[in-house]
Structure 1
Amino acid sequence: MLYKRNEYFRYTFDEPCEATFRLIKDASESSPEEISKKGKCTIIDISPHGIKMYSELFISIEKLNHVELQVTLDETPISLIGEFVWSHRKISGYEYGIRFMDDEKRESLIINELKNRRKKEIERKK
């Protein structure tokens, strides 16, 4: 595994987090054009710069490389726009690596939501 020195952290969920996604035409637009209906996925891990998701659906990432994810890590729903970087076939579906577009506000929201989620997980274990 390649070590990314500039990566803050990568949070791996004990139980994958439910989310939805839709394929979009161009992630650089202010209101991206939808080219698919919403699909269900699970988030395996997340960092402020990317995400690993699992879906039963096959996505041809060479042709359809932009995606919008809707996820609630703790309490606030977050819309994340990114591009597919890699995909791996699994027994009953596919894992995808997605790199987010640079956005400091979104990065800090992800970090804060994960901190709050982790605090609640620790409290439940006590």
Structure 2
Amino acid sequence: MRYKRKDYFRYEFKEPLHAFFRILRVGRKEVNTSKGEARIINISPNGMKLNTSLDLPHSDGHEVKLSISFHLNKRPFHLPGTVVWKKKIAGYNYGIYIDLDETERKGLVEALKVYASNHDNRNEI
């Protein structure tokens, strides 16, 4: 899978957005972990940068599938994600690929536009 950061805009949160995640699969093994806390640093319709204190098993070469939950404008989002990169910075930063259908993508874009207009007009959309 190829991660293409430049396909869509990327919204940078002034204050990281609180989120939760669960690991659903590591490699070919299905798992069901408890919720981990995270912060969304930035997001686009195809991906996000996620920060957490937890060290996910990405470095051993196994694909890690997540379910990421957060609220944007009081609307709940539950997005499927795949870890594509990992960096140890203030805990761990992860690049997450999110695979949305066109309806889900449009819903996320609209929610981000509303959020941006209500929170910080200096961010580009």
Q: TM-score, normalised by structure 2?
A: 0.81
C-alpha separation between the residues in 1 aligned to 2:95 and 2:13?
15
Report the secondary structure of 1:19's partner residue: strand
C-alpha separation between the residues in 1 aligned to 2:86 and 2:66?
13
Match among 57, 60, 68 for residue 54 of structure 2: 57
For 1:34-45, what aligned pairs fall within 5 Å after superposition?
34-45=31-42
Q: Does 1:47 align with 2:33?
A: no
Q: Does 1:84 align with 2:83?
A: yes
Paired residue total: 113
Cα distance, 1:21 vs. partner?
A: 0.3
1:17 is aligned with what amino acid?
Answer: L
C-alpha separation between the residues in 2 aligned to 1:93 and 1:4?
22
For 1:110-125, what aligned pairs fall within 5 Å after superposition?
110-122=108-120
C-alpha separation between the residues in 1 aligned to 2:120 and 2:41?
19
More strand by share: 2
Report the secondary structure of 1:110's partner residue: helix
C-alpha separation between the residues in 2 aligned to 1:71 and 1:45?
13
Cα distance, 1:66 vs. partner?
A: 0.2
CA offsets, 1:96-120, max 9 Å, x none? 0010124112111110111111121
Give the unaligned 5+ runs of structure 2: none
Give the unaligned 5+ runs of structure 1: 27-32
Cα distance, 1:70 vs. partner?
A: 0.2
C-alpha separation between the residues in 1 aligned to 2:111 and 2:11?
11
C-alpha separation between the residues in 2 aligned to 1:21 and 1:4?
21
Q: TM-score, normalised by structure 1?
A: 0.81
C-alpha separation between the residues in 1 aligned to 2:50 and 2:5?
19
